[in-house]
């Protein structure tokens, strides 16, 4: 998995990334959704990756993800920033996944 972060997204994430001991993780959050297919893309700061996490590539931040969740997304993703709603967006060349992905800072 490869994520390109826009300059605006980088600025937004860096403002929240105050604890440099934490790691960034991209996850397909399906808790409370009833079905894994109905999950929502989420970025979260975690204390440590699990044994199931692998390191993805990006232009800005090292991030982890679980390979079995990658099936829900294109290989190359873009995280942008929507200044009208002050939130992150997720897209690829083929589709828009979300115009408002969460950035969890207290996992």
37 vs 13: CA distance, rounded Å: 27
- CA distances to 23, 77, 99 from 95, rounded to whole Å, are 27, 10, 11
Tokens of 67: 């390979």
Domain ranges of the chain: 2-31+39-104
How high is the mean pLDDT of the chain? 89
Q: What is the reported pLDDT for 107?
A: 58
Say which residue, 35 or 96, is predicted with more confidence. Answer: 96
Beta bridge partners of 102: 42
Enumerate residues 6+ apart whose C-beta is below 8 A from 15.
none
Residue with tokens 């709603």: 85
Per-residue pLDDT, 32: 52
What's this model's pTM, rounded to 2 decimal places?
0.88
Residue in the structure block whose two tokens are 């200044």: 83
- Choose between 62 and 106: higher pLDDT: 62
- Residues 7, 45, 29, 55, CA torsion sign: positive
| Domain 2-31+39-104 in this protein, CATH class | mainly beta
Half-sphere CA count of 23, side-chain side, radius 13 A = 16
Position 48 pLDDT exceeds 60: yes
């Amino acid at each position: 998995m490869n994520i390109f972060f826009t300059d605006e997204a980088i600025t937004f994430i860096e403002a929240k990334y105050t604890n440099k001991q934490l790691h960034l993780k991209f996850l397909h959050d399906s808790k409370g959704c009833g079905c894994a297919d109905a999950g929502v893309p989420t970025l979260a700061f975690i204390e440590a990756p699990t044994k199931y996490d692998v390191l993805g590539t990006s232009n800005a931040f090292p991030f982890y993800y679980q390979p079995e969740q990658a099936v829900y997304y294109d290989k190359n993703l873009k995280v942008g920033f929507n200044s009208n709603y002050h939130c992150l967006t997720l897209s690829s060349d083929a589709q828009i996944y979300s115009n408002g992905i969460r950035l969890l800072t207290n996992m």
